[in-house]
Structure formats: C-alpha cells, structure tokens
Amino acid sequence: MTDARAVAQMAKDYTAAWNSKSAEAVASFYAEDGEIIINNGDPWTGRGRVQDMAAGFYADVPDLTLSCDDVRCAGSHVVFAWTFTGHDAASGHPLKVRGWEEWEVGDDLKVKASRGWFDAEDYARQAEGR
C-alpha cells in the first residue's frame, strides 16, 4: 500500500518540477520505461519520450504554471488533478486548462503508467481567443 503522505509530497514535487520549466525534471518522476498517454492519443513511452512530451507543452505554453488541485491514492493508483495557466505561444491568448492524470506508481513512487485528460476542444477555443 502506498503512503498517502509520500504521494502528497510526490505530487507537490511533481508540480514544482513542471513549474521549473525543466522537461528533464518532469520526466524524472517516471520510471525508465514509464509512459504517458494523453486524451487517448499515442503513448509517450520511456523517460526520454516523457521528456519530449513535457518539452512540447513548454513550447506551446512557454509561461505554463501548474497547480495541484487534488491528489488521491488507493494502493498503487493515484489521481493527480491539476490546472495550468499561461499563454498560447502562437496566439498569445491566455489559457486556463483543467485536467488530471491517473497514475500507476511503483514502490519507489515512480510513475509506471499515466493516463492524462483535459478538454482539448476548450484548450483550442482558448488558444484562438474564443
């Protein structure tokens, strides 16, 4: 069973990693062969690919600021609810996007698998200024 306090600290540190603007720091929370799938898209498998995913978000939203809205755990399953704000790199329009990640974590609290979710249509509307 995963220690809820340790998971809460991990979520706090993960949030700080995103706010550091270091894709490498974000990826360090994943197992070497960990993966993330966002909105049922293609998997980003391996720590290097997770780093590429984070770098893509920084390219799209250079001033991205993440907040942790909630974290819950049950055994090795964790839900990390978040909000990010910033400005779309192409349009300059402000963004406020809410979503969550569903994690399967190992005994070392490294993410083995993550399923991330956010409203992509709402994101696009905000980026377009609608």
pLDDT recorded at residue 24: 98
Tell me the average pLDDT across 37-57. 97
Q: What is the pLDDT of residues 51-77, one digit of tens each?
A: 999 999 999 999 999 999 999 999 999
> Residue type for 32, please?
E
Residue 99's identity, in one-letter code, is G
CATH annotation of 4-128? 3.10.450.50
Q: Residue 88 is inside which H or E element, if any?
A: none
Q: Are strands 111-118 and 30-38 parallel, antiparallel or unpaired?
A: parallel
Task: Inform me whether the pLDDT recorded for 1 exceeds 70.
Answer: no
pLDDT band at residue 130 using 50, 70 and 90 as cut-offs: confident
Which residue in 66, 77, 65, 54 sits closest to 7, CA to CA? 77
Digit-coded pLDDT (tens) for 12-38: 999 999 999 999 999 999 999 999 999
This prediction has a pTM of: 0.95
Query: Domain boundaries in the chain?
Result: 4-128
